[in-house]
Amino acid sequence: MIIGVTRETAAQERRVALNPASAAALIKAGFSVLLEEGAGVAAGFPDEEYRAKDVGLVDRGEIFAKADIVVQVQGPGSHDGGLEADLPLCRKGQILVGMQDPLGNPQAVATMAEKGVTAISLELVPRITRAQSMDVLSSMATVAGYQAVLEAAAHLPRLFPMLMTAAGTLAPAKVFVVGVGVAGLQAIATAKRLGAVVEAYDVRPAVKDQVISVGAKFVEFDLDTAGAEDKGGYAKEQSAEFIRRQQEQMQAVVARNDVVITTAAIPGRKSPVLVTAPMVEAMAPGSVIMDLAAERGGNCELTRADEVVTAHGVTILGPTDLVSRKPYHASQMFAKNIETLLRSLSKEGVLALDPADEVVAGTLLCRDGEVVHPRIRELLGLPAAGREQGD
């Protein structure tokens, strides 16, 4: 089977779905690989490096005309213009692998089904041991957590580490990380490496040991956190009353820190507001809020996606392209995730999508003209698979 890699067309996207090393590994596994000319340049991978690995360099039209599997970082459903730009070029039965934003944009899955393509959503890789090396959300969160600290440090008008100099002692910056998933843990570790004093909070008390292990103090509030974690280990959406009480207790912690980094995002849902306008007002002038949940509204009440907001002397950052600001290693990790996925689901270069396979069942959105993923069918108001309306 032929794997095609396209240049990314989403705004500010600099990653590429396969780097030369993963392309070579897939060729060794029996696939052929075609790359749209220049697709890897923005990420730091020139065409010559792919050509040296026996990757064919072609134009975009030839990718869609010849490839059995088209791999992208951001698939047709995940960005503005994706359906209009790429879907008309697709062939019936062609397999599209990438981030598809199915929970946030389920209608795009229905549109892809109408086209007759087979779509695989990398965001929905199940949290099982076998699939850890296929998990793009964790890979990209690692990059986002690291970059979030660098961006915050660049905007903070003070240094992160404590320094003892002939001109006096400089106190270390104080950083508060809200949400201790992969991005939060990486943010904690990065802030500690830069010399900051770090506190962290998560609604899931089970992550306390992880916070302590990377050198931060775990902040605890007087809240009932029973049932705060779902079966997959993610934080569950909380009630309005829970969030109100959480905000009340968090205000003093936010006020005493120089940098607040928030990471609480819920797939397909609006981000919960954790940092209110009065909390921002209580912070010292020059403080910085880095909101990693800006794409879906933000954890800070004053966040605006892809803008730098100044309120009460506090700088509020809401970038949605943090991962693309480190495209080389982000692409390396993303490519390894795709390589592992394709190799695990194939034999001698032929992809076999067995619905009984837990990874396939979790990621397959549509096939043979039908939306097949149960959760997406529910979001679209479709009956459960194998049933008719009224059954």
Question: Annotated catalytic, 234?
Answer: yes
Q: What is the pLDDT of residue 26?
A: 98
Res 390: pLDDT: 44
pLDDT on residue 385: 74
Comparing C-alpha atoms, which of 232, 249, 126 is closest to residue 178? Answer: 249
- Active-site annotation holder among 47, 133, 193, 234: 234
What is the number of alpha carbons within 13 Å of residue 75 lying toward its C-beta? 27
pLDDT in tens, 88-121: 999 999 999 999 999 999 999 999 999 999 999 9
Q: Is 222 a catalytic residue?
A: no
Contact 90, 111 (CB under 8 A): no
Q: Which of 80, 132, 306, 354 is catalytic?
A: 132
Q: In residues, how long is the chain? A: 391
Tokens 């149960």 correspond to: 374
Q: For position 62, what pLDDT does the model report?
A: 97
* Low pLDDT (below 70) residues in the chain: 225-237, 386-391
Distances, alpha carbon 152 to alpha carbons 155, 175, 319, in Å: 5, 10, 11
Burial class (CB in 10 A: 0-12, 13-18, 19+), 319: buried
**Domain 145-320, CATH:** 3.40.50.720
For the chain, where do the domains classified as CATH 3.40.50.720 start and end? 2-134+326-379, 145-320
Catalytic residue among 68, 135, 202, 258: 135
> What pLDDT, on a 0 to 100 scale, did the predictor assign at position 243?
81
Beta strands per DSSP E along 28-165: 32-36, 56-58, 69-74, 95-99, 118-121, 163-165
Given this model, what pLDDT does residue 391 score? 45
Q: Which of 81-90's residues contact partners 24+ apart within 8 Å by CB, and which partners? A: 81/9, 82/9, 82/10, 82/108, 83/108, 83/111, 83/112, 85/9, 86/6, 86/9, 87/111, 87/112, 87/115, 87/117, 89/60, 89/61, 89/64, 89/65, 90/64, 90/115, 90/117
Please count the other Cβ atoms lying within 10 Å of the Cβ belonging to residue 144.
25
Q: In the numeric block, which tokens belong to residue 274? A: 């954790």
- Which amino acid appears at position 389 of this protein? Q
Determine which one of 138, 147, 238, 346 is catalytic.
138
Question: Residue 153 phi/psi, 5° resolution?
Answer: -65, -35
Catalytic pick from 32, 47, 91, 127? 127
User: Known catalytic residue: 258?
Assistant: no
Domain 2-134+326-379 falls under CATH 3.40.640.10: no
